[in-house]
Chains A and B, each alone.
Chain A
Amino acid sequence: MASRLPRRARALVCGLGLALGPGAPAHADAGALARLSLEALLDVEVEGGARYAQRLADVAGLASVVTAEDIRAFGWRTLGEVLRALPGVGVTYDRNYTYAGLRGLSRPGGYNDRLLVLVDGQRANDNVYGQAHLGSEFLVDTDLIERVELVPGPVSVVYGTNAFSGVVNVVTRRPAQVAGTRLAASYGSARAGEASASWARAPTADAPGVLVQAGGFDTRGRDLAFPAFGGTAHGLDGDRGARGLGKVEWASGVLLLAAVTRTKDIPTASFGQVFDQPGASTTDRRLHASLVQHWAPAAGVDVEGTLVYADYRYEGRYAYVGYRERDQARGRWIDAGLKALVTTLPGHRIVAGLDLARDLAVDQHTERWPSGAAIFDDRRRGAAVGVYVQDEVDLADGWRLHAGLRRDHYESGDATSPRFALLWQAAPSTTLKLVHGTAFRAPNAYELAYEATGTKAPASLDAERIRSTEFVVEHYPARDARVGISLFHSRVRGFIDLSADPADGLLVYVNRSGATLRGAEAEWMQAWDSGLRVRASYAYHDAEDEDGGRLTSAPRHQAKLALVVPLPLGVDAGVEARAMSRRRTRAAEVPGVVVADLTLTARTPWPGLELQLAVRNLFDRRYADPGSAEHVQDAIAQDGRTVRVGFAWRFDEGGAP
C-alpha cells in the first residue's frame, strides 16, 4: 500500500529527531503501519507506558516536550511562556523583547542568538541579529502548536550556528488535527484583546490538507512606574500585531507560510531615550515560507529536501531630546537543505545532509529624524554552507553509540562540530547516556557591522564556541512516569561581548576569553488515569566568567511545578508555580521569587465551545528581571496579577474529519 502519511510526518517531525539522533526508535503512525502486511500488523506491539518514553530515552541528551494539550491547559500564549515551564529555562522580559536563558547562559548583551528556534524543523532565527523571537512577535499562534521540543545543550552537530545553548523545535498542527472552523477570542487586564479564526480541511483522496489561520492582538498596556527615573511611563506598554498562517499538506510534502507583524511600545527609555515620551517603539515583521518534500529513492533510504524563504524587517523608533532616531534592519534569505536517512546497513542509522544559506539582503540603517542624517548604513550579503553526517550504531548488550560531525563554512570563518554519545539501556526502564558535543555561534551582522555614536565595528570577530559533556539518567518508574536527570559541564571560548577599546574608548564587540558552566537538571513527569498530570523540575546552574566579568543573570536555583487537575463539570485546572533564587544584575541583584499561575478551562454544554480563565501571577508577587546594558534600570519590574478570559469555539467539523 502506498504511503500517504509517513514521509510527510517525518518531514514535520524529523527536524529535532535528527538533532537528537537520527535513530530515535520507531514509533509508527497509521500511515507507516498501513504499509505493513496484515501479518506484520498483528505483530506490532501496542505502546504502553515506558515504551513511549523509550523514544525520549534514545535522544542524545535530556529532552523535554510540551504538547498542545499542555498549551491549552495552561493557557500559554507565547513561546516564552511555554519555555519557562521547562527545566532550567529562565525567561526574562524587558518590556520590549523576551529572552530565554538555558544552562546558566542568560542574556549577556545578546539577542537570543544562542538559542536556535526551529519551526517544523526549519531554522527561524533571523539573519541580521540571529535572534530567536519568543514573545508576541513569534511567527506562530500557540493555538497552532502541536508540540514544542526542547533539547538543552550544544547541538551544532546537526544545525550549525546558534544551536549553542539549546534547540527548540516548534511543530505546528496538521490540518487533520484541527479540521473545521475555529474562532477564539480573549480579553483581559491592561486592556489586552486577542482574536483569531482558523479553518482546516483534512487531506482527502483528491485534495491536500489545508489549514489557514489569521488573528490579531492588541494590548493597550498599563502605566508603569520606574523608580530609576523617578516617574511613570504613561501608556507606553502597548503591544499589538497580527499573524497569519497557511499550510498545505500532500502525500509527500508540506508547504508552510507564516507571517507576523508586531509593534511594541518601549516604556523603559532604553538606549538613553527620553523617559515617558510617546513614540518609542519597535516593529518586527516576519515572513517565513518553507517547502519540505520527501522521496524514498530506495528501500531504507529516505531523502528530505527543504527550501525556505524568509523575510525579516525591523524598525525601531527611538525618542531623544530634540530628535528621534529610526533604526532599521532588513533581512531576506533562502535556506536550502538536503538530508538523507539511510538504514540499509544492519545496526546503523546514518544521516547525512547538506545545508546552504544565502542572504538576499542583510541591510542595517540608522538615521536621525527629522534631519534624515544617516548615522549608520551597512549592506552586506553572505552565504553559508554546512555538511554533516551522523551514525547511530547498535553495539552489544543494549549499548548504542551516536557519532556525528558537522563542518560549517560561513562568511567570517569555519567551524567543525563533533558530537559523540554513548547510550546504555541498563534496565528495561532505565537508560544512561554520556554525551560530548560542541557548538558555535557565528558573529551576527549587527555585531560585525554596527557603528554609531560611541561604538565601532570590530576589525575581526570570531565565532564563540562551547564544548560540553553531559551525563544523563532517564528512568521510567511507572507506566506513565518519567524521571530524567542531567549533569553537565561546559566550557565556552571566545564569548562575543561588548567591550570598550582602551585605545579610543569606543564600544566594540570582541571575543572575550571564556567561561565555565556547570549544572544539574532534573525533571519528573507523570500522568494518572484520573486525568491528573504533573511536571516538576529542578535546575542548578553555576556560571563563572574567566575574565571576572559579569557573565550571567541566570538564577542558581530554579524549581518548577506544573499540574493539570481535572475538576468536576468538565473543568481542567492548570496550576503552575515557578521559583527562582536571586539573580545578579549589573549593579546589585534581584531577590528570589515564587510566581504562580492558574488557568481554568471549561467545556460547555454547547458542543465545541470552551471557556478559559487565566490568572497570571496569582498572588500578585512583585518581582523584576535584571536589566541589560541599554537600560538605566538595574532591574525591570514585571507584571503583577493579570486576568484574562477567553473562549474557543470549534464547529463545522463534519464532512471530512
Chain B
Amino acid sequence: MTPARWLAAAALAACATAAMAERASEPDLKAAFVVNLAGFVDWPPPRPGEPAELVACVPAHSSLRGPLATLAGEPVAGRTLRVVALPRGGEPATCHLLVVQGPPPPGVRAPLTMLDSTELSPTPYPVTFAIVDQRLRFRVNLAALREARLAISSKALRLAHAVDGS
C-alpha cells in the first residue's frame, strides 16, 4: 500500500452525496472513467444467446481491480457490467474491455484496450489515460479503434485531451 493510499484509507470515509463528488482517490476515479467511457462506445449487439453483458477484464494485481469490482452490475451501454480478474487460472477470458497498466497479459485480447498510463503520450492502444495536474485526462487512437471495429461518440472525442490516427 502506498503512503497516499494508506492515509486515504485512514481518513474517515464521508457521508458523500453525488453532488459532493469533487475529490476522489486515483483508482476510484480511473475505474469510474473506464466504465463511463465504455458507455460512449458503440458496441456490437450481443449475438443471440449471448448474455447482455459488458465484460471488463483487469489484471488481478491492478490497483483498479477493487474499484472496478464495486461497479460490477452497473448498466453500461444497455448491458450489465461484469468484471473479470486476470488470469483466470488458465481459463480463457472473453473480454470486451481490458484495462492494463503495461503490455496486456499473453493470450488476452479485447476490442477495447485501455492503457492506464503515467503520461499522455500517444500509444498503440485505443484509449490511453493518465492523471495530469491531479485531473484525469485521456487520448483516443482512432486508428486502433477502427481496427477493433468500434466507434466512439463524438462527444467523448470532444472531451479527449488528444485524438490520434484520424
Question: Which A residues are within 8 Å of any B CB, using their own CB?
Answer: 1-6, 9-10, 13-14, 16-18, 20, 22-49, 51-56, 58-59, 63, 65-69, 147, 149, 171, 176-177, 179, 202-206, 251, 299-300, 302, 341, 343, 351, 479-480, 482, 525, 527-529, 531, 533, 653-657
Contact = CB atoms under 8 A, between A and B. Distances in A.
A176 B21 contact: no
A44 B7 contact: no
Given A13-B14, A32-B16, A38-B37, A46 B29 contact: yes
B124 interface: no
A34 B36 contact: yes
Contacts of A25: 14, 20, 22-23
With most chain A CB atoms within 10 A of its CB, the pick from B40, B72, B87 is B72
A52 B7 contact: yes
B104 to A, nearest CB: 17
B7 A46 contact: no
A24 to B, nearest CB: 4
Contact of A205 (B29, B37, B39, B81): B81
With most chain B CB atoms within 10 A of its CB, the pick from A351, A655, A657 is A657
A220 B104 CA distance: 52
26 contacts: A1-B35, A1-B39, A9-B13, A26-B14, A27-B13, A29-B67, A30-B27, A32-B16, A33-B31, A34-B32, A34-B74, A35-B18, A36-B32, A42-B135, A42-B159, A44-B23, A46-B24, A46-B136, A53-B7, A202-B70, A202-B72, A203-B73, A653-B85, A656-B72, A656-B84, A657-B69
A531 B5 CA distance: 11
A2 B75 contact: yes
A656 B83 contact: yes
B135 A29 contact: no
Contacts of B39: 1
B12 A20 contact: yes
B88 A654 contact: yes
A529 B7 CA distance: 12
Contacts of A206: 73, 80
A47 B68 contact: no
Contacts of B155: 38
Nearest to A526: B3
A24 B131 CA distance: 25
A137 B108 CA distance: 48
Contacts of B110: none
Given A33-B21, A655-B88, A656-B84, A527 B12 contact: no
Closest 7 CB pairs of A and B: A26-B20, A527-B3, A33-B32, A28-B21, A657-B85, A24-B14, A13-B13
B118 to A, nearest CB: 13
B74 A2 contact: yes
Contacts of B135: 42-46
Nearest to B25: A47
Contacts of A147: 9-10, 13
B166 interface: no
Interface stretch (B41-49, B58-66, B143-151): B58-66
A26 B73 contact: no
Contacts of B81: 205
Nearest to A176: B69
B137 interface: yes
A462 B23 CA distance: 46
Nearest to A343: B17
A401 to B, nearest CB: 18
A69 B9 contact: yes
A115 B133 CA distance: 44
A28 B66 contact: no
A42 B158 CA distance: 12
Contact of B3 (A13, A27, A53, A528): A528
Contacts of B76: 1
B17 A55 contact: no
A498 to B, nearest CB: 38
With most chain A CB atoms within 10 A of its CB, the pick from B11, B19, B53, B69 is B11
Nearest to B70: A5
Given A46-B24, A251-B73, 19 more contacts: A1-B39, A1-B75, A4-B73, A6-B16, A23-B15, A31-B70, A32-B18, A36-B21, A36-B36, A37-B36, A38-B40, A44-B29, A45-B23, A49-B7, A52-B11, A55-B14, A204-B72, A480-B7, A654-B89
A479 B131 CA distance: 17
With most chain A CB atoms within 10 A of its CB, the pick from B87, B135, B156 is B135
A32 B10 contact: no
Interface in B81-95: 81-85, 87-89, 91
A47 B23 contact: yes
A384 to B, nearest CB: 24
A22 B135 CA distance: 27
Contacts of B58: 657
A30 B32 contact: yes
A653 B20 CA distance: 34
B72 A30 contact: no
